[in-house]
Amino acid sequence: MKLRKVTAAASVALALAVTATACGGDDKDSDNAGSGGGKITIGIKIDQPGIGQKTPDGKYKGFDVDVATYVAKALGYDAGDIEWKEAKSADRETMLQRGDVDFIAASYSINEEREAKVDFAGPYLLAHQDVLIRANDNSIKDPKDLNSKKLCSVTGSTSAQNVKDKLAPKAQLQEYGGYSECLTGVENKAIDALTTDDSILAGYAAQAEFKGKFKLAGFKMTNENYGIGVKKGSDLKAKINKALEKMVSDGSWEKAVTANFGPANYKNEPAPKIGNIVK
CATH number at residue 84: 3.40.190.10
198: exposed, middle or buried (C-beta count within 10 Å: 0-12, 13-18, 19+)?
Answer: buried
Considering the domain architecture, whether residues 45 and 96 belong to the same structural domain is answered as yes
Residue 34 has pLDDT above 90, yes or no: no
Residues 46, 127: Cα–Cα separation, whole Å: 19
Residue 15 has pLDDT above 90, yes or no: no
Residues 185, 132: Cα–Cα separation, whole Å: 12
Considering the domain architecture, whether residues 52 and 182 belong to the same structural domain is answered as no
pLDDT value at residue 180: 86
Please give the single-letter amino acid code of residue 17: A
The answer to whether the beta carbons of residues 155 and 176 sit under 8 Å apart is yes
The pLDDT-based confidence of 262 (bands split at 50, 70, 90) is confident
Q: What is the mean pLDDT of residues 231-237?
A: 98
The answer to whether the beta carbons of residues 206 and 260 sit under 8 Å apart is yes
Q: In this structure, is residue 71 part of a structural domain?
A: yes
Q: In this structure, is residue 202 part of a structural domain?
A: yes
Of the three residues 216, 235, 254, the one that is the final residue of a domain is: 216
Residue 22 has pLDDT above 70, yes or no: no
pLDDT value at residue 67: 98
Considering the domain architecture, whether residues 117 and 246 belong to the same structural domain is answered as yes
The answer to whether the beta carbons of residues 112 and 201 sit under 8 Å apart is no
φ, ψ at 132 (rounded to 5°): -110, 130
> What is the rounded average pLDDT for all residues in the chain?
88
Entry field: residues in the chain: 279
The pLDDT tens digits of the residues spanning 149-191 come to 999 988 867 788 889 999 999 999 998 888 889 999 999 999 9
Q: In this structure, is residue 123 part of a structural domain?
A: yes
Considering the domain architecture, whether residues 191 and 247 belong to the same structural domain is answered as no
Residue 30 has pLDDT above 80, yes or no: no
Distances (CA, A) of 164 to 83, 148, 188, 218, 266: 40, 10, 23, 17, 24
Domain count along the chain: 2
Sign of CA dihedral 100, 101, 107, 108: positive
Domain limits for position 57: 40-127+224-264
pLDDT value at residue 33: 63
Considering the domain architecture, whether residues 117 and 247 belong to the same structural domain is answered as yes
